[in-house]
Structure 1
């Protein structure tokens, strides 16, 4: 059996708000709390479990997406007024000219989690 990532804990100031934010930007569903986690299923094998922590230290989470998924994410980010950018040090520069792929962007949540979305087209 190949190794796959099943879930990861994502630190949050407010776990439900963070889960809703991530799900809305990425075009995913948030179904509510599961004990002290606010899980968002990313695909059939991966769930992000948002958890409230004191003084959260942000993580970097990177996602490969196809061109149409990227277009949808970018449209939702723009519609919501979420700052985004092409550089992890400038995640608010409003650009998508990612250094590692034809199109990509970064955005940040309240816990300083840095999300990276990359598309080959």
Structure 2
């Protein structure tokens, strides 16, 4: 069997708030939850498990590939809500980037993790 990505636990200050954020941002749905997890399922079957961290945690970086229409919806929502986003992971350019033949932007989730949305994979 070839290895495939199955799930990730994303530490959160508030699992429900973070789950709502990712549900809206990625346009994904709830999955059955158990224990400390607020679970979401992506269309490719990958499970995102949001859980309140037992202690402080370092910021992580998550990148999600979306189609152009999804990217347009997110960008319009960010502009409308005046939410900060950047074109680079260092958060120095307040614009989307057009590298690699697509578009990408970076924003912070409620737990302080850097979320990247891109329309073309790097490889």
TM-score tier by shorter-chain length is 0.7 to 0.9
- Output the CA distance in 2 between the equivalents of 1:79 and 1:26: 17
Q: CA RMSD in A?
A: 2.1
Task: List gaps (5 residues or longer) in structure 2.
Answer: none
Q: How far apart are residue 55 of structure 1 and its match?
A: 0.8
Q: How far apart are residue 78 of structure 1 and its match?
A: 2.8
Q: Looking at CA atoms only, which structure, 1 or 2, has the larger radius of gyration?
A: 2
The TM-score, its normalising length taken from structure 2, stands at 0.82
Q: Is the 8 A contact 1:101 1:118 kept in 2?
A: no
Number of positions where the alignment pairs a residue of Structure 1 with one of Structure 2: 119
Counterpart residue number, 2:69:
68
Q: Which runs of 4+ in 1 moved over 6 A?
A: none
- Output the CA distance in 2 between the equivalents of 1:8 and 1:94: 29
Q: Are 2:62 and 1:23 equivalent residues in the alignment?
A: no
Counterpart residue number, 2:89:
88
The TM-score, its normalising length taken from structure 1, stands at 0.84
- Output the CA distance in 1 between the equivalents of 2:41 and 2:111: 20
Task: List gaps (5 residues or longer) in structure 1.
Answer: none
